[in-house]
Structure formats: structure tokens, C-alpha cells
Amino acid sequence: MSKKKKIIIIVSMFVLLCVAGVLNVLFSNGWGNNQGDDTVTTSSFFVTYRTDREATRAQEIVYLDAIISDESVSAESKQLAEQQKLDLTAAMEKELIIEGLIKAKGFEDVIVTTSTDYVNVIVKSENLDSSQVAQIYDVVISEMNMQGKENYIKIIPIGE
């Protein structure tokens, strides 16, 4: 990889990190907050989390793309980077689908994080009754094919 490409990649990653940091500070300090109540704080949590998640994933993709396009990297490393990129995009798609399906059940906001072993679901709600928890479990189990692995699903309500 040429020195110019390396510099461009490093500068891009630095800019993304700076943008994520600035957005995090702005949202954490209640930027655009007119009332200063807990609802805005909870809403800013969801916005901040999504912003940070998108920035982190963008950095990961840039890193993986740099490995994939580097001609000095071994074929095995390129193949591993390509598989990691495919796994990352598949996880992003699953999370987006699950978030949409849970919102369709009537929840105001939700964040889903996944790995090969677990799923975390953060729901904007003071508390959840058993039927709401069952709805969330049903969506996650069906979309992630986790029958019999309910112990690996964590549902976290965050108050409004």
C-alpha cells in the first residue's frame, strides 16, 4: 500500500473519530434540548449510541477495506478481512431488522446489539410487563434462530 493511501486512511479514521466525539459531546450536553427533562436525556442516549455505533463500524469497515485492498497482504489475511466485513454487515442488517420489528410492536425506541453468542436489546420504556418481554423475545428468537438460547438474550428497559 502506498504511503499516500495510508495517510488518507489514517486521516479519514481520525476525522470520523473527531466527528463522533463532537456529536457525543453535543448530545451529552443536551444540544437542542429545550426542556432539560429526562425524556430528552433518554432520547439523546439512543441518538448518541447510534451515532457512536455508526462511527465505530465505519472505522472498522475502512480498516477492513484497507486490508482487502493492500497488495502486500497475504491471500489468507485478505480472505479473513473479507469474511469479517461480511459478518459485520450481516450483523448490522440483523440488528436493523430486529430494531424495526420491535418498534413495529409499539415500542418507541430500541437498540439491538448482536454477536455470535448473545443479543442485547435496549428498550425505551420505564418498565416492561411480561407480554412485552415475550414479544421482544419472540422477535429476537425468530430472527436470530436462537430457540433454546433464551438465556443469551438480555432485555434492558431504559426509563423515559
Q: In this structure, are 102 and 58 located in the same domain?
A: no
CATH code, domain carrying 158? 1.10.287.4300
Range 111-115 contact pairs with CB under 8 angstroms and sequence separation of 24 or more: 111/46, 111/49, 111/50, 111/53, 112/140, 113/53, 114/144, 115/91
Higher pLDDT, 97 or 37: 97
| Triad 129, 135, 140: Cα angle to 5° | 125
Dihedrals phi, psi of 23, to nearest 5 degrees: -65, -40
The confidence band for 147, taking pLDDT boundaries of 50, 70 and 90, is confident
Residues 123/156, Cβ–Cβ less than 8 Å:
yes
Residues 141/119, Cβ–Cβ less than 8 Å:
no
Domain with 154 in it: 92-160
Q: In this structure, are 106 and 61 located in the same domain?
A: no
Look at residue 89 in the predicted model and tell me its pLDDT: 92
Residue-wise pLDDT tens digits, 99-134? 999 999 999 999 999 887 889 999 999 889 999 999
Query: What's the pTM?
Result: 0.71
Strand partners, 75: none
Q: What's the gap between Cα 84 and its chain centre?
A: 16
The confidence band for 28, taking pLDDT boundaries of 50, 70 and 90, is low
Q: In this structure, are 5 and 68 located in the same domain?
A: yes
Q: In this structure, are 68 and 100 located in the same domain?
A: no
SS3 90: helix
Buried b (16+ CB within 10 A) or exposed e, 84-107: bbeeeeebeebbeebbebbeeeeb
